[in-house]
Amino acid sequence: HSSELYDPRMISTPCRMKPSMLDTIASEFPNLQIIAGHPGFPWCNEMYESLWFYPNIKCSVCGMVDIKWLIDSMDGMDVSGVPFYEKFLFATDADYGRAGAEDYIRERTVFFKVFFEEAGKTKIWRDQSENFLYRNAKKIFE
């Protein structure tokens, strides 16, 4: 494999998760709701562009995220005027049922509540933690 990001021990690697790979699907199937994983890390700028161009692309945020990028991106909006803070939703890489997974999920939930309170103090998205943690995902399935 030619990519320096390739790791044969991993089933899914960053070279298989470029957000731009979703663009053609999003364009061909505009009614299909697509949830991209963990801000496309390390392809965060591609993720931003995909979120901007395609209203049907959303983004799950879990442990693998560039916090500065997330803070800056939350202020964005897509071409149809939907704020990015409505397109981000909480997710986790934890395996349900595995020892310690529930603790990890609770820790991440607390982290993101504090993130919205502290990092969002002067931002328009400061009151969006409940939407981020579950309502944004719920809207996709309604």
Q: What is the pLDDT of residues 13-23, one digit of tens each?
A: 566 678 888 99
Partnered with residue 58 across adjacent β-strands are 35
Q: C-alpha angle with apex 45: 44 to 47, nearest 5 degrees?
A: 65
Average pLDDT over residues 102-129: 93
Q: In what order do the strands lie in the sheet with 34-36?
A: 34-36, 57-61, 88-90
1: pLDDT strictly greater than 50: no
On the CB side of 50, CA atoms within 13 Å amount to 29
Mean pLDDT of 19-31: 93
How confident is residue 3, by pLDDT bands cut at 50, 70 and 90? low
pLDDT tens digits, one per residue of 35-72: 988 777 778 899 999 999 999 999 998 766 788 999 99
Cα–Cα distance, 95 to 67 (Å, whole number): 23
Phi-psi category of residue 40: left, alpha or beta, with phi > 0 → left and psi -120 to 50 → alpha? left
Choice among 9-18, 103-112, 128-137 with the minimum mean pLDDT = 9-18
